[in-house]
């Protein structure tokens, strides 16, 4: 165990008030899958069943940790608490004999999460325990894998992630995803519109050459123990934990893409987090927003021009870069002034020993969150959201982006046309260059 890994375990890991129960036969796993579960008694068995179809030799080397969690009875619906107790009772029966399943009880009285904690804290509890399990493994390529209790995987899932772990540049990665389409047409439209939004964001950031061009879906994340310790572990956020965790991983290493298998996140309505897939589907059903709108394509052109300007003028002063930003768009300069760029840039230049380090430090400062703040600033001041398919057409034409399949000419095509486009887009995006 290296000193850095030991330091994380001793200083930052979740305390042992959450003991690991269940399967203890696998002493030195080569990978650990962490599954937070809140009121998932009906869904978890199906997720584990999909894992059970993976390669037996790899299942024999893989530990699954289920973190059954909720806040105390004053903050969580009684049905959710009862559901969690059913989940724990089921896990104690040692289901799925071909799987190594352990579990953590963060749901029973005295073991609950803290009042403001949620899925981030649950992931952290499980990932910290996974980290500890992997420290003494005999594998030269151990991996911590995130999954959700309502998510299915393909039979080649473990083959793909184990193959990624053996890459020389393995640090952290995201697995390809596809939301299953519900039977109800309205729910279908809801998930199609949301996935088109997610994939547009990924494509647009990729076109802008942002180092933060990757999807941020918790059930698709994998990382090495070294990477996990380097970013001080998973954060405790009640929502958006996946975005911030991946952002930190991108600041310390490379986010790889695992495109030879697919995970299927749930497309159901959910009350668990204030945003994300479940919330977006519910919002669509309630018709409180116009969902077929995305960030304006021109905002990403501004972002691309800004990033390329900085990388081409790393030795330039802050004042000169701000002038060039104003030439790109006046609102870009306004945003940078609001972010105190003129104060930060000379510090970055002074601290960096060479231009490569300066480039890296700039991207750590102008990170995924600042990128999103810029896009929001441009939306609010000059480039409002535009219809989804109009944005795809504008992006494709402006960037000459060959990845995008034929785009419907209408801004409101029939649902079957939308589904066909999304299906082709999923395939095409597997060919994106990392």
pTM attached to this predicted model: 0.92
Assess if residue 415 is contained within a domain: no
Grouped pLDDT means (10 residues each) for the chain, 434 residues? 66 70 85 97 97 97 97 91 97 94 96 91 95 86 96 98 95 97 91 95 96 96 96 89 96 96 82 47 55 93 98 97 98 98 98 96 98 98 97 82 81 94 95 77
| Predicted local distance difference test score (pLDDT) of residue 74 | 86
Whether 317 maps to a domain, the answer reads: yes
Per-residue model confidence (pLDDT) at position 73: 87
- Do 319 and 257 share a structural domain? no
Tell me, yes or no, whether 423 lies in a domain. no
Beta carbons of 282 and 273 less than 8 angstroms apart? no
**For residue 280, what pLDDT is reported?**
53
Instruction: Write the CATH number for 212.
Output: 3.90.550.10
The number of folded domains in the chain is: 2
Provide the domain limits for residue 366: 297-381
Cα 27 to Cα 19: distance, rounded to the nearest angstrom: 15
Same domain, 162 and 48: yes
End-of-domain residue from the set 268, 287, 305: 268
Q: Are residues 94 and 47 in the same domain?
A: yes
Burial of 208 (0-12, 13-18, 19+ CB in 10 A): buried
Is residue 122, in this structure, part of any structural domain at all? yes
Instruction: Decide if 253 is inside a domain.
Output: yes
Q: What is the pLDDT of residue 272?
A: 44
Does residue 257 sit in the same domain as residue 366?
no
Distances in whole angstroms, Cα of residue 116 to Cα of each of 36, 39, 76, 112, 238 = 16, 18, 11, 11, 7
In terms of domains, do 318 and 260 share one?
no
pLDDT given for residue 16 in this prediction: 59
Of residues 290, 329, 298, 307, the one with CA closest to residue 393: 298
**Quick check: is 56 in a domain?**
yes
247, 139: one domain: yes
Answer yes or no: do 312 and 240 share one domain. no
Same-domain check for residues 260 and 339: no
Please state, in angstroms and rounded to a whole number, the distance separating the CA atoms of residues 287 and 338. 35
For residue 320, tell me if it sits in a domain: yes
Pick from 268, 288, 320: which residue ends a domain? 268
One domain for residues 162 and 63? yes
- Considering the domain architecture, whether residues 232 and 339 belong to the same structural domain is answered as no
Backbone angles phi, psi at 319, to 5 degrees: -60, -45
Q: Does residue 20 lie in a domain region?
A: yes
- Domain end position, chosen among 249, 268, 287: 268
Q: Are residues 264 and 301 in the same domain?
A: no
Considering the domain architecture, whether residues 90 and 232 belong to the same structural domain is answered as yes
Q: How far is CA 222 from the centre of its chain?
A: 10
Q: What per-residue confidence (pLDDT) applies to 397? A: 79
Q: What is the pLDDT of residue 14?
A: 63
């Amino acid at each position: 165990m290296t000193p850095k890994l030991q330091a994380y375990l001793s200083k930052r890991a979740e305390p042992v008030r959450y003991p690991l129960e269940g399967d203890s036969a696998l002493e030195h796993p080569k990978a650990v899958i962490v599954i937070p579960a809140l009121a998932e008694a009906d869904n978890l068995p199906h997720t584990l069943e999909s894992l059970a179809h993976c390669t037996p030799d790899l299942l024999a080397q893989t530990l699954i940790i289920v973190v059954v969690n909720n806040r105390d009875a004053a903050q969580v619906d009684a049905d959710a608490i009862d559901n969690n107790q059913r989940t724990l009772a089921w896990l104690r029966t040692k289901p799925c004999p071909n799987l190594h399943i352990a579990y953590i009880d963060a749901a029973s009285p005295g073991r609950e999460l803290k009042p403001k904690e949620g899925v981030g804290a649950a992931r952290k509890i499980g990932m910290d325990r996974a980290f500890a399990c992997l420290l003494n493994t005999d594998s030269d390529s151990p991996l911590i894998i995130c999954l959700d209790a309502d998510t299915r995987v393909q039979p080649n899932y473990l083959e793909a992630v184990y193959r990624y772990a053996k890459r020389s540049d393995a640090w952290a990665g995201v697995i390809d995803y596809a939301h299953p389409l519900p039977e109800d047409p309205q729910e279908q439209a809801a998930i199609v519109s949301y996935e088109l939004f997610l994939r547009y964001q990924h494509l647009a950031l990729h076109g802008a050459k942002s180092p933060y061009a990757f999807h941020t879906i918790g059930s698709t994340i994998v990382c090495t123990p070294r990477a996990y310790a380097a970013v001080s572990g998973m954060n405790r956020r009640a929502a958006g934990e996946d975005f911030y965790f991946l952002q930190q991983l991108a600041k310390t290493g490379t986010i790889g893409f695992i495109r030879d298998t697919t995970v299927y996140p749930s497309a159901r309505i959910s009350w668990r987090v204030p945003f994300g897939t479940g919330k977006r589907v519910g919002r669509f059903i309630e018709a409180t927003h116009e969902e077929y709108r995305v960030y304006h394509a021109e905002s990403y052109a501004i972002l691309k021009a800004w990033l390329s300007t900085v990388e081409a003028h790393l030795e330039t002063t802050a004042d000169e870069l701000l002038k060039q930003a104003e030439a790109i768009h006046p609102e870009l300069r306004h945003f940078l002034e609001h972010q105190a760029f003129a104060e930060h840039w000379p510090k970055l230049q002074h601290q960096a020993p060479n231009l490569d380090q300066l480039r890296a430090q700039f991207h750590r400062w102008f990170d995924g969150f600042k990128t999103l703040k810029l896009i929001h600033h441009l939306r609010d001041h000059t480039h409002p959201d535009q219809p989804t398919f109009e944005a795809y057409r504008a992006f494709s034409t402006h960037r000459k982006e060959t990845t995008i399949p034929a785009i419907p000419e209408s801004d409101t095509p029939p649902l079957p046309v939308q589904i066909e486009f999304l299906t082709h887009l999923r395939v095409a995006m597997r060919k994106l260059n990392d």
